[in-house]
Amino acid sequence: MPEFVVTALLAPSRLSLKLLRALVMSLVYLAAVVAAFVYSCIALTNVLCHPRRGCCGRPRLTAPACLRDPTLGEHCFLTLRSSGLRLHYVSAGRGNGPLMLFLHGFPENWFSWRYQLREFQSCFHVVAVDLRGYGPSDAPKDVDCYTRDLLLVDIKDIILGLGYSKCILVSHDWGAVLAWDFSIYFPSLVERMVVVSGPPSSVFQEYSIRHIGQLFRSNYMFLFQLPWLPETLLSLSDFQILKEIYTHRKTGIPCLTPCELEAFLYHFSQPGGLTGPINYYRNLFRNFPLEPQELSTPTLLLWGEKDYTLQQGLVEAIGSRFVPGRLESHILPGSGHWIPQTHAQEMHQYMWAFLQDLLD
């Protein structure tokens, strides 16, 4: 069939897709304006209630001691082959077994895996990385440096750069979003996955369209589509909105010490420290609509019964995409979004049982 005929036949579909994307982006930016108003009110209220903190975030001059805890591992840097970026990671247990690679979420860093680094270093080479844009890792300024494709290649380069041909991939939140896609596009590099509180992008997209309540829970995503304003609002009153995320009585991380809180705030408080992480969200709608993908990597999925960010219905939606027999899922009673830090012992028990045959 001549090329011009094929082009003519596909033209209506391409036009429809462009119109759909334009409509979606219009709705996204409308939601962004609404979210900006709501979060501006919250941020200004924080400034008025805590005038001594000032309007802007206070840069931390010294890293908190818990970030230098030697029991968690050795601090290293790896130069990625594809991009040349230098990523920071903490490593322990080299030579003790297979590579166990940890991918954190937002607003976190490698330190969110502190309990798992201690627990598994006796039988695995555990590595918790600061993803690009986070912490001491390189943080390109351009939004286009945080596309899904580039982030997935980062993970590939980390595994190969550490001298391994495959790994056990453990992930949470944004790290989980990346891990799902990585298992699809680089399946030979993933032996097992442990996913905590994070759905595949295509599942989240389809579920949110059918369950409007999930979009309300994820309202911050729309705010993060805007330039500079999200960084400004999060830093007002010495990062009060971020502090509330970590320490909220119902949805935060119980028993978080002041030093541990500073371990998360330290790098975000540095000039430009919030831009890289927020740029992940600014690329969320770049490839809408996403095609459904079949999931086949053997996976342990852990979800919080009281997760304020993600609805439980997503667990069933994820299961519907899996090859039968490849997914083991558990909803942890009483737990919220921060399972690796709030319910570490339960998480470890499930992980040891899931990985036991690899150790045998």
Active-site residue 125, yes or no? no
Active-site residue 173, yes or no? yes
Q: How far apart are CA 37 and CA 291, in angstroms?
A: 33
Q: How far apart are CA 324 and CA 321, in angstroms?
A: 9
Active-site residue 220, yes or no? no
- Select which of 173, 181, 238, 307 is catalytic: 173
- The string of DSSP codes covering 210-269 is H-HHHHHHTTHHHHTTSSSHHHHHHHHHHHHHHHHHHH-TTTS-TT--HHHHHHHHHHHT
- Select which of 104, 125, 337, 343 is catalytic: 337
| 76 in Cβ contact with 91 (< 8 Å) | yes
- In degrees and rounded to multiples of 5, residue 70 shows phi and psi of -65, -20
| 206 in Cβ contact with 317 (< 8 Å) | yes
Q: How far apart are CA 175 and CA 144, in angstroms?
A: 18
Token reading at 103:
């991918």
- Select which of 157, 281, 307, 343 is catalytic: 281
196: left (phi over 0), alpha (psi -120 to 50) or beta: beta
Query: SS3 for 301?
Result: strand
Give the residue carrying structure tokens 């408080």.
269
| Residues catalogued as catalytic | 173, 281, 337
